[in-house]
């Protein structure tokens, strides 16, 4: 049986390799942030080009921390639309309720 069908709610965790990749990329962005800012200020585009590609924060893709889903991400809640809906219906997100009119 498919893991996503078996494990509903918050119990499903992203693939370990994706979690590691995301944390490594966040560390790389943080490591080169000051240097990138300095190079941009001095307009040293050749120096910027020599930095690792994954050090560019524009290349970072927001992912759902529960299952690693890159699409349908809701920034305000830090979840994908699927997990947002599940948690909202369970009443686990404060201030969120299903609309009815």
Run of H or E residues at 94: none
Supply the pTM of this predicted model. Answer: 0.66
Sign of CA dihedral 70, 65, 14, 32: positive
Average pLDDT, the chain: 85
Number of domains the chain is built from: 2
Residues 6+ apart with CB under 8 A from 88: 96, 97, 98
Number of residues assigned to the chain: 101
Position 53 in a domain: yes
Task: Give residue 76's pLDDT.
Answer: 93
Position 7 in a domain: no
Is residue 13 within 8 Å of 90, Cβ to Cβ? no
Run of H or E residues at 73: strand 73-74
pLDDT tens sequence across 44-53: 999 999 999 9
Q: Is the pLDDT of residue 58 over 80?
A: yes
Question: Which residues constitute the domain of residue 75?
Answer: 62-94
pLDDT tens sequence across 4-36: 444 455 555 667 888 888 889 999 999 999 999
């Amino acid at each position: 049986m498919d893991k996503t069908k078996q494990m509903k709610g918050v119990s499903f965790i992203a693939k370990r390799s994706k979690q590691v990749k995301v944390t490594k990329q966040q560390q790389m962005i943080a490591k080169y942030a000051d240097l990138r800012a300095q190079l941009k200020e001095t307009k040293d585009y050749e120096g910027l080009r020599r930095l690792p590609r994954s050090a560019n924060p524009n290349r970072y893709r927001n992912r759902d921390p529960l299952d690693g889903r890159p699409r349908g991400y809701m920034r305000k809640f830090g979840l994908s639309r699927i997990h947002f809906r599940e948690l909202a219906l369970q009443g686990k997100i404060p201030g969120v309720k299903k609309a009815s009119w």
